[in-house]
Amino acid sequence: MRKACELIRCIPVPLVYLNFALLLVLATAPAWQTLLFGLTLDDLLQLRSFNPG
């Protein structure tokens, strides 16, 4: 347990923030991908076939 705590303390803080930013971008990819690249044919087909009722 002590060795694990020492290992965690050795990780540089910017690396932790970089990892968090990368995971945030990957998690929100569907939202910004549509805004950045516009609607694709697959997106239009999904919107057309969506039937809530």
Q: Report yes or no on whether pTM surpasses 0.85.
A: no
* Length of the chain, in residues: 53
| pLDDT for residue 4 | 80
Residue 19 main-chain phi, psi, to 5 deg: -60, -45
| pLDDT for residue 24 | 94
| pLDDT for residue 32 | 82
Domain ranges of the chain: 2-49
The token pair at 7 is 């290992």
| pLDDT for residue 29 | 86
CA distance 37 to 22: 19
Digits of tens for pLDDT over the chain (53 positions)? Answer: 888 888 888 989 999 999 999 999 999 988 888 778 887 787 777 776 666 65
